[in-house]
Every structure is written in structure tokens, then in C-alpha cells.
């Protein structure tokens, strides 16, 4: 099969941005829906993520039936993100060396490299030497550091995924997992009850075998932190879509990372993402995590269609992976999420344009552009100030209103004195259209000057 870079990343190469990612990020105390860098400047996170960003693998790629897997064009991926004005992605980790699932039952998907050396003696179930779980594969960690640093040099933040729980639950991955006894020289078996699912790997237990597994997991986490602690563009994600009973283990890991980082020069945010299946958004809210990614939630939360602006009090990264998988999300969803105070991530397949994915890609760059030009640190969701109900505002100073259909709407400027500069953004074409200045002090009516969704930006230029 052709390399992934030829199938997916046919983008124009552009020079790396001279602006590097600044950090480390911390929750903005005055407005905790946003992160801020070390200077106190609010940082909005938006971007596309893809399964192959750290390890080469053939997941969901037709014909990926050979080992080694296709080589991913990471530099091309970063250029793709930069071209679309994205500044954030999840750095995916897959834990097993091969698997099949319901999407690819007719073939085998391979993945490499992994955190531990394959020294043997003896062969693992995938036909390669067994892992030694007490010896790290420095090539893996060198790649991890190089990829995080390369992203940071382009102004892009990375959420390093430490563990991956979906594959253990929904594929035959455990057969080739390093913590399955036939695959390591250390006689470590994390499937404590022998049912072949190994959910105990992402759980806490007081047994000696479970404690041994936890100690090895912590050693790996320490190695990751030691590898990237000095870099500014780092966030951590405990695990992707582990089972609902992983809560205590994830909370424990969050606390462990924060404790270990406390003695380091830099402390980076730690995130917890939705537990699939059976998790709840309340578990995320109650966690000690700095940032969270929910699922669609109940009718009030509704993170797909009408995102709630005050249901969760942490930094929220709304990720289509936990809302639709890799089949949903568009410009309307991006703009609704942004104007409700949510950071956004889009689960990519990196299909070449034109594709349905273009809508979300373009919109994530748009909202980040406005986040950079506004005083984001002071901007909060203000549903009651606009008839559209989608409005970010620093009352009296600045307003960003989203209208998802063409038409007339009002913005409440009764408490805002002075004159406001106004401009429209055509969401579909990305064209900015200047508008006549607006005087505050009353409800003002606006009519979108083009068909389709629009954003209206008002900024006070003088006070009365």
C-alpha cells in the first residue's frame, strides 16, 4: 500500500512558525474555562488528532496487513495542522503490538515502537522477541520527545496519552499486549482473573500481582515525565476510553503525576477523558484532573447540538472522539462549542479535500484566530446577551456572537456605552466583511449580510 503520507497529507509544505508554544499551561484562575501560559495570557486549544501521531500503525487503513506498519509522515501532519491554524492534538499511544477488531476483522493491524525493549529470551505471541518490562526502549522515548518538541516549535500543544483502554475492551489486543505473561520475560500478568479481557490492568487492587503491575506503570509514567518535563507544550491524558471501573486507578494516577511533577522544574496539566463504556461526566467533574473531555451528556449538557456553558467547571476539551467517534463534527458544532466556552478537538482520518471533514478543520482555525485577537481571558459565555444564544462577551467591551442561520438577531448592548467596531465572518468562505460602527446603550439589531452561518465581532473603540 502507498505510505500514509501520500494518501493523507498532500498539503503544501510551509515553514515552521517562528512562534513557539509557550507554557507550561495552567488553569486560568480568573476564568477557569481557559488555560493560560506562564505570562498569564489565555490560550485557546483547538485542533485535529489522528491515531498514528506517535506510533506507526495500520489502524483502520485498508490493506494494512504487513509488519512493519506504514510509516506516518509526522512532519506533513504538523504542516497540515499549521496550515489550518490548529494548535493542539492528542499524541496517541497504542499499547499492543497487533490486533483485529470489528472494523478490520479480515486483517491484522500492527503497531510500533513500544516503551520497552524486546530482548527475549523467547518469542512473544506476535512472533517477535519478548518484552523486558524493566528495560526501557530509548528509541520510543527519543521519538516521543522529538515529536513533542517539533510540535512546540510550531506553536502546537500536545496531550500525551499515557494509556489506551479502548483496544483492551473491544479488540483481541490483549493476546499481544506487553503485560500479558506470554509476551514478557518478567512473568508479569495483568489479567488477574484470567478472563482474557484484562480490565484489571486499568484498575486498583491490593494483591501483590496488581501492585507489581502498578509499580511498572508508574515507572513508565516517570520515564515519560522525565523525557518531556522541560518542554512547554505538554499536557497529559491518563487514558483513552478505559472502562467505568477505572475511576479509582485514574484518580490515583492523576495524583501520582502531580506529586511526581511537584519536584520538577515544570508542572503540566493532567487530563481525564470519558470512560467508555459506562462512564459519566460527573466522574470527570469530580476528578482531580485539570482538564476533561466529556461525552454528549444528558439533555441539558448536550455537547453535540447545544453545548452547556456551565455544566462543568473545569477546562473542557470537547472532543468529537467521545461525542461521535470519527464520524461527526462540523463548523456549526465548533462555533457553538467555542461560544459556550469550550476548547475543541476533532477526530481525523486525514482524508484529502474535498471532504466532509473540511468544515470542522476550517472552523477550528477560525475560532482560534478570534481567540487570539480577543481578550480571551475576560471572555465568558453570555447566552442572554444575544438572541442567537451563542455569545462570548466581556460585558461592555467585546462581544463575539454566532448565528448558525442567516437572519436577523439582536444583541443586548444596554449596559455598554461608547462606540463599537463591527465585523462579520462568513463561516463557509472564511471571508471577513467590515460593518458600520455600532453605538451601545440599547438592544441593537443585526442582519447577516450573506447566506449561511456567521460570526459577528464587536469591540469597543471609544467610551462615552
| DSSP-assigned states of every residue in 9-21 | ------PPPS---
Average pLDDT over all residues of the chain: 93
pTM of the model: 0.94
Assigned C-alpha cell, 162? 499515557
Mean pLDDT value of segment 230-239: 98
Question: What are the distances in angstroms from CA 34 to CA 159, 175, 197, 379?
Answer: 15, 41, 38, 10
Backbone angles phi, psi at 456, to 5 degrees: -115, 125
Angle separating helix axes 74-83 and 138-153, nearest 10 degrees:
20
Q: What percent of the chain has pLDDT over 70?
A: 93
Mean pLDDT value of segment 399-421: 94
For the chain, domains (ranges, CATH) are 4-378 (3.20.20.80), 383-462 (2.60.40.1180)
In whole angstroms, give the CA distance from residue 224 to residue 161. Answer: 10
Mean pLDDT value of segment 151-170: 97
> Is residue 62 scored above 70 in pLDDT?
no
Provide the pLDDT confidence category of residue 464 given band limits of 50, 70 and 90.
low
Provide the pLDDT confidence category of residue 70 given band limits of 50, 70 and 90.
confident
Give the DSSP per-residue string, 237-278.
EEEES--GGGHHHHHHHHHHHHHHHTTSS----EEEE--TTT
Pairing of strands 116-123, 56-57: unpaired
Q: Are 372 and 420 in contact (CB under 8 A)?
A: no
Residue 172 CB neighbour total at 10 angstroms: 16
Mean pLDDT value of segment 337-348: 98
Encode 319-386 in three state secondary structure: EHHHHCCCCCCCHHHHHHHHCCCCEEEEECCCCCCCCCCHHHHHHHHHHHHHHHHCCHHHCEECHHHE
Residues whose CB falls within 8 Å of the CB of residue 241, separated by 6 or more in sequence, listed in order: 164, 165, 166, 169, 273, 274, 275, 276, 322
Provide the pLDDT confidence category of residue 358 given band limits of 50, 70 and 90.
very high
In whole angstroms, give the CA distance from residue 320 to residue 318. Answer: 7
- Residue 111, SS3? strand
Assigned C-alpha cell, 266? 515544570
Backbone angles phi, psi at 5, to 5 degrees: -60, -30
Q: What is the model's pLDDT at position 105?
A: 57
Q: What is the model's pLDDT at position 106?
A: 63
In whole angstroms, give the CA distance from residue 344 to residue 84. Answer: 14
In whole angstroms, give the CA distance from residue 398 to residue 378. Answer: 9
Q: HSE (CB half, 13 Å, CA atoms) of 400?
A: 24
Q: What is the model's pLDDT at position 4?
A: 41
> Is residue 74 scored above 90 in pLDDT?
yes
Which range, of 9-23, 51-65, 366-380, averages the lowest pLDDT? 9-23
> Is residue 6 scored above 50 in pLDDT?
no
> Is residue 291 scored above 70 in pLDDT?
yes
> Is residue 224 scored above 60 in pLDDT?
yes
- What pLDDT digit, counting tens, does each position of 195-222 carry? 988 999 999 999 999 999 999 999 999 9
> Is residue 1 scored above 50 in pLDDT?
no
Give the DSSP per-residue string, 273-308.
E--TTT--HHHHHTSS-SEEE--S-STTT-TTTS--
- What pLDDT digit, counting tens, does each position of 89-112 carry? 999 999 999 988 766 656 778 899
Q: What is the model's pLDDT at position 68?
A: 75
Helix, strand, coil percent content, the chain, rounded in steps of 5: 25, 25, 45
Amino acid at each position: 500500500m502507498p505510505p500514509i503520507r501520500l494518501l493523507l497529507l498532500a498539503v503544501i509544505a510551509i515553514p515552521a512558525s517562528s512562534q513557539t508554544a509557550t507554557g507550561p499551561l495552567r488553569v486560568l484562575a480568573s476564568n477557569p474555562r481557559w488555560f493560560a501560559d506562564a505570562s498569564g495570557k489565555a490560550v485557546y486549544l483547538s485542533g485535529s488528532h489522528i491515531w498514528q501521531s506517535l506510533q506507526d500503525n495500520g489502524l483502520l487503513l485498508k490493506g494494512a496487513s504487513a509488519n512493519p506498519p506504514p510509516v506516518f509522515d509526522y512532519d506533513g501532519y504538523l504542516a497540515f495542522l499549521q496550515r489550518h491554524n490548529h494548535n493542539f492534538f492528542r499524541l496517541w499511544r497504542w499499547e499492543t503490538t497487533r490486533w483485529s477488531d470489528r472494523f478490520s476483522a479480515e486483517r491484522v493491524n500492527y503497531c510500533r515502537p513500544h516503551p520497552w525493549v524486546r530482548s527475549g529470551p523467547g518469542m512473544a505471541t506476535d512472533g517477535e522477541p519478548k518484552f523486558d518490562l524493566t528495560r526501557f526502549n530509548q528509541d520510543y522515548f527519543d521519538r516521543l520527545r522529538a515529536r513533542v518538541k517539533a510540535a512546540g516549535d510550531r506553536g502546537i500543544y500536545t496531550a500525551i496519552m499515557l494509556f489506551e483502554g479502548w483496544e483492551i475492551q473491544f479488540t483481541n489486543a490483549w493476546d499481544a499486549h506487553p503485560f500479558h505473561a506470554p509476551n514478557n520475560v518478567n512473568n508479569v500478568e495483568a489479567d488477574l482473573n484470567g478472563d482474557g479481557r484484562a480490565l484489571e490492568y486499568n484498575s486498583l487492587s491490593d494483591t501483590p500481582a496488581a501492585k507489581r503491575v502498578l509499580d511498572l506503570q508508574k515507572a513508565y509514567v516517570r520515564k515519560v515525565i522525565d523525557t518531556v518535563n522541560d518542554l512547554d507544550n505538554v499536557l497529559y491524558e491518563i487514558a483513552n476510553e478505559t472502562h467505568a471501573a477505572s475511576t479509582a486507578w485514574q484518580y490515583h494516577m492523576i495524583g501520582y503525576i502531580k506529586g511526581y511533577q511537584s519536584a520538577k522544574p515544570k508542572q503540566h496539566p493532567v487530563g481525564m477523558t470519558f470512560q467508555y463504556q459506562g462512564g459519566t461526566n460527573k466522574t470527570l467533574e469530580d476528578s482531580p484532573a485539570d482538564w476533561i473531555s466529556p461525552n454528549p451528556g444528558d439533555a441539558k449538557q448536550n455537547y453535540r447540538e447545544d453545548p452547556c456553558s456551565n455544566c462543568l467547571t473545569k477546562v473542557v476539551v470537547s472532543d468529537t472522539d467521545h461525542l461521535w467517534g470519527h464520524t461527526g463534527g462540523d463548523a456549526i458544532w465548533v462555533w457553538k462549542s467555542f461560544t459556550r466556552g469550550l476548547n475543541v478537538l476533532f477526530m481525523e482520518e486525514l482524508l484529502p479535500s474535498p471532504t466532509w471533514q473540511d468544515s470542522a478543520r476550517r472552523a477550528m482555525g477560525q475560532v482560534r484566530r478570534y481567540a487570539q485577537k480577543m481578550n480571551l481571558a475576560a471572555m465568558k459565555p453570555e447566552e442572554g446577551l444575544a438572541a442567537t444564544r451563542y455569545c462570548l462577551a466581556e460585558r461592555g467591551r467585546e462581544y463575539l456572537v454566532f448565528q448558525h442561520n442567516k437572519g436577523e438577531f439582536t444583541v443586548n448592548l444596554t449596559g455598554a456605552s461608547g462606540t463599537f467596531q463591527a465585523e462579520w465572518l462568513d463561516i463557509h468562505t472564511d471571508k471577513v466583511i467590515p460593518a458600520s460602527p455600532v453605538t451601545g446603550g440599547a438592544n441593537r439589531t443585526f442582519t447577516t449580510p450573506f447566506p449561511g452561518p456567521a460570526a459577528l465581532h464587536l469591540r469597543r473603540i471609544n467610551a462615552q
